[in-house]
Structure 1
Amino acid sequence: MLTYDVQIWGIRKRANRAAAYQLRWRVGPRPFSKSYKIKAQADGRRSELLSALRNREQFDEETGLPASEVQALKSPTWYAHTLAYTEMKWPGASAKHRAGIADALATVTPRLVKDGRGAPAPRVLRRALYSWAFRFVRDGEEAWQRRVDAQQPPDEIAAALDWISRKSVNISDLNTPSVVRSALDALALKLDGAPAADNTVNRKVPVFTNCLRYAVERELLPSLPLAKVDWASPETDDEIDFQFVPGPKLAKQLITAAGAQGVRGRHLMAFFGCLYYAANRPGEAASLRETDFTLPEEGWGEVLLSSSTPRVGSGWTDSGESYDSRGLKKRARKATRAVPIPPIQVRLIRDHIKEFGTAEDGRLFRAVQGGHLLSKEYGEIWKAARLAVLTETEAASPLADVPYSLRHAGVSLWLESGVSPAEVARRAGHSIAVLFRFYAKAIHRSQERSNRQIERALEAAEEED
């Protein structure tokens, strides 16, 4: 039971005792005492108790200790907490998010230690955390089990995990601003000590924050300690640099050039068309089936998006495949998104089906061996298409440097054509806020055109008067 009824007495010296200096205090009705060999030690401990009392901290009647010290004694280590956190998050997280959680925690956990004596090599410790402690596998009964518990790790991995379990700080130490700052600084660095990319830092910090929130939820921390530290994530300029986004003419040339790269190029030509003409994400386009399309003989068609299959790695997916089959990004699992497609894309899809057919499950695009399309495959075709179309200087620049540039180009084309931002956001699967953050310049140009149209209408009305 906690109480404010505390009395702390002076130091008493007892003759002929090895620990001659005795500190005495009372918590509620119970007296407590502790003896020290050196008077300075007794004075120091008395000052700690008085400081807790002045700070209006309650004391525990059972142990006689301030509440903060009782909490510290009961506190699990940071490493133990991360194990509980990853176990809680794993079942409901996407494969990509699972890998992201493991990545962030494997970055920050080695920094949150009492000391570095006997530490394993940094790369060994990171592998131990990322691939063994923070990763789960199915057991014989199809239940999730931490990999280190389900499989026998190499000796160096077992030793690294034993070291971190012994050296990890208590979770209560995260109440100390210097400890929190040390963790945040670790997230801003790569394994070799070089500064991490801004986007990498901004991806890892929310994982750390959420892990701390879970500590508050478990009542291991009284409140989120980040407010105690004057530290901010790096500013990033999310707005797309449109000088490197291909326009309609160049986008068509690149798609055509991709189709000229042999049989694989022809197979992927319609795939690249989906990225541009329907502004699909690569993972969305890779999972498209013939039944997802409405392909009229003439005019506009439509594609109905309902899933995405981003490549993550077999260690993070439920199925054990290297890709993760899930719903649309940041949408309910069963949500769909209908996107009109222009006649040129309708023809591309029709020609693709006529020449290549579909996989057994109806997928339009597949790997050479018939499995799910790999980013390495379409990346190589795209690289060849760029070299075929761009000048040497352009090819050395970020102009259309990755296939995802086609999606940026498609969204930009819609905005430049006067489609309302709300409709563009719907077709692209963005929120309005994200659209304005990434495509602010294109939206601004579209608004200027709209303003001129409104102004002409108003001038015409004045001339009629």
Structure 2
Amino acid sequence: MNTSYDVKIWDIRRNASSKTPSYVVRWKLGGKERSKTFRTKALAESFVSDLRQAARKGEAFDLVTGLPASMTKPAADVGPTFFGFARSYMAARWVHSAARTRETMTYALLSLVPALTKDLPGRPDDEDLREVLREYAFLPDKRRGELRPEHKTAFGWLEAASLPLVELLEPAVIRSALDAIALRFDGEPAAANTVRRKRAVLHHMMESAVELKKLSVNPLHAVKWKPPKAAGTIDPRTVVNPVQVRTLIEAVGQVGRTRGSRMRAMFACMYYAALRPEEASGLRRQNCDLPAEGWGMITLEKARPQANKRWTNSGETHDERGLKHRAADDTREIPIPPVLVEILREHIEAYGTAKDGRLFRTSKGQPFSSSAYSAVWQEARRLAFTVEQVVSPLAARPYDLRHAAVSLWLNAGVPPTEVAQRAGHGVDVLLRVYAKCIEGQRTRANGQISRALDP
């Protein structure tokens, strides 16, 4: 006889040995103890309820599976796992996303996928799980090589352990996902902007799951969770004045044998034309009107943002893209002052251009990496600044040159509409981001209040 009515069901208990919260259901059938582990207490309670209802109805329990007949029927399809859906989501988004967007999505999933798993034995190290996700699972078929032997175990474990996507409808499960994106890989709290980017990826994934009818609702709407507040304005302490900029740019030219001098004009473009680094990287001679006297003009057409080559279309570290926040073929005209015209003319005379007209490149014709120009910038700060300034936020990053340029234009009285056009911003974003860098407002406001207070 393969069935028995001799069943005893115990209370649920917390699994103290698990790295992540889980709950164990225990029962005894025909003198043999059975157990089953669940990620949430609600799932465990549901399972216990089914067992007890079957026992009350007088159902026979199968001695092999330990379950009553009503629970041994083929289970209904619960849909994809979170890991499986994440892979299909990445595949669908790949063609329509820029390299940095692909990198951002993957970075979020490196936190989420290992966290949304069952407590199965043999769990690989988290770093091994992230490595197989980064180097294999989320790449398109044509980008993937053979799965390395050391990754097969990690990949197989993820396929077996990944939670069904529908379990994210449980508040405790979706909250565990939010907890995962709030931490760095070393367990320390993540930066506010990082958490917000990862949460945006998770939100879009859940919206896609609803659209594809994999989920009935977006589970993020069921939990009250506030992301950390991110600074939405520029820190005025980072903004350099024109004298400091001239000193810094001259110091750049003194770094290394030729590396700094090749970058000098690039940094000048970031300040005098408020170019983003990827816009300076894509600048060509044909984009520049450089008269012998007076103001010139830069007409931006393309940018060359840097990303890990596994995410780019070209397989190189820089992909050519349209301008940020603009249509693919849109351009942006930026009048440039005589000082920048002169610097660019000197640069072209000294170093020429690449075959495609690009101005800024290494002696071997390659684009400068962000690590290379950041290192030169830090050395220039050490040459140009005092010890106190070096350790301060003042022009801490090359991007701060662009912030200094926009701040200068606003404080000079250039209309915000014109500043926004030159910088490639919306006016509302411009005024919100640079609000703290517009000088003179406090003095004017104090004067207005004083006049109102006087009888």
Q: Deviations over 1:55-114 (max 9, x none)?
A: xxxxxxxxx99xxxx997331111110111011001111111111111111111111112
Match of 2:166 in 1: 172
Contact 2:411–2:439 (8 Å) recurs in 1: no
Match 1:242 to one of 224, 236, 240:
236
Distance 1:214 1:71 in 2: 25
**2 CA distance for matches of 1:346 and 1:294?**
8
**Superposed CA offset, 1:145-194 (max 9, x none):** 6x2xxx22222211111101101111110111100000000001111211
Conserved in 2, the CA contact under 8 Å of 1:100 and 1:204?
yes
The question of whether the paired residues in 2 share the 8 Å contact of 1:280 and 1:407 is answered with: yes
Determine if the alignment matches structure 1 residue 114 to structure 2 residue 118.
yes
1:316-331 pair list within 5 angstroms: 316-331=311-326
Q: Is residue 307 of structure 1 aligned with residue 311 of structure 2?
A: no
Distance 2:291 2:123 in 1: 65
Distance 1:331 1:44, change over 3 A: farther
State the alpha-carbon separation in 2 of the partners of residues 421 and 97 from structure 1: 29
- Give 2:83's match in structure 1, choosing from 79, 82, 90: 79
Aligned to 2:207: 213
| Alpha-carbon shift at residue 317 of structure 1 (Å) | 0.8
Equivalent residue, structure 2, for 1:18: 4
Cα deviation for residue 116 of structure 1 reads: 4.5
Q: Which residue of 1 aligns with 2:330?
A: 335
1:37, CA displacement in angstroms?
7.8
SS at match of 2:335: strand
Q: Is the 8 A contact 1:102 1:135 kept in 2?
A: no
TM-score normalised by the chain length of structure 2: 0.81
How far apart are the structure 1 equivalents of 2:76 and 2:215?
10
What amino acid does structure 1 have at the position aligned with 2:138?
F
Q: Which amino acid aligns with 1:163?
A: W
Larger deviation, residues 72-81 vs 383-392:
72-81
On the 8 A contact 2:253/2:263 being kept in 1, the answer is yes
Corresponding residue for 2:385? 390
Q: Output the CA distance in 1 between the equivalents of 2:296 and 2:318.
A: 29
Partner secondary structure for residue 201 of structure 2:
helix
Give the match for residue 98 of structure 1: 102
In structure 2, the gaps of 5 or more residues are 8-27, 31-47, 57-69, 449-455
CA deviation vs aligned residue, 1:274-326 (integer Å, no higher than 9, x gap): 00000000110011011101112221111011111121121111111111211
8 Å Cα contact 1:416-1:446 kept in structure 2: no
Measured at CA, do residues 308 and 40 of structure 1 come closer, stay the same or move farther in structure 2, by a change above 3 Å?
A: closer
**Which whole-Å CA distance do the structure 1 matches of 2:126 and 2:300 have between them?**
43
Q: Is the 8 A contact 1:415 1:446 kept in 2?
A: no
How many Å separate the matches in 2 of 1:163 and 1:293? 55
Please provide the CA RMSD for this pair. 2.9
Counterpart of 1:128, as a letter, is V
- State how far apart, in whole Å, the 1-side matches of 2:434 and 2:207 are: 33
Aligned to 1:416: 411
* Map of 1:229 onto structure 2: 223
Aligned to 2:93: 89
Distance across 1 between alignment mates of 2:305 and 2:225: 33
Q: Which one of the candidate residues 382, 399, 407 is aligned to 1:404?
A: 399
Q: Is the 8 A contact 1:367 1:377 kept in 2?
A: no
**TM-superposed deviation, 1:233:** 1.1
Offset, 1:330: 2.2
State the distance in 2 between where 1:185 and 1:115 align: 17
Q: Which amino acid aligns with 2:101?
A: H
Describe the SS at the equivalent of 2:4.
coil
Counterparts of 1:121 and 1:241, CA distance in 2:
39
1:281 aligned residue: 276
CA distance in 1, matches of 2:200, 2:343: 41
1:283 and 1:449, CA in 2 relative to 1: closer, same or farther beyond 3 A?
A: farther
| Match for residue 133 of structure 2 among 118, 124, 129 | 129
Inter-partner Cα distance in structure 2 for 1:340 and 1:94: 28
| Pairing 1:258–2:265 present | no
**Range with greater deviation from structure 2 (232-241 or 82-91):** 232-241
| 1:346 paired residue number | 341
Describe the shift of the 1:444–1:210 C-alpha distance in structure 2 as closer, same or farther (beyond 3 A).
farther
Q: Distance in 2 between matches of 1:42 and 1:403?
A: 64
Residue 184 (structure 1) aligns with: 178
Deviations 1:346-394 (A, max 9, x none): 1111111111111111111102311122223222221221111100111
Partners of 2:444 and 2:291 in 1: CA distance: 33
TM-score using structure 1 length: 0.79
Aligned length: 395
Measured in 2, the distance between the counterparts of 1:447 and 1:335 equals 38
Shift of 1:399: 1.3
CA distance in 2, matches of 1:77, 1:200: 25
Question: CA–CA distance in 2 between the matches of 1:341 and 1:46?
Answer: 83
Could you tell me how far 1:406 is from its partner in structure 2? 0.5
Tell me the percent identity: 41
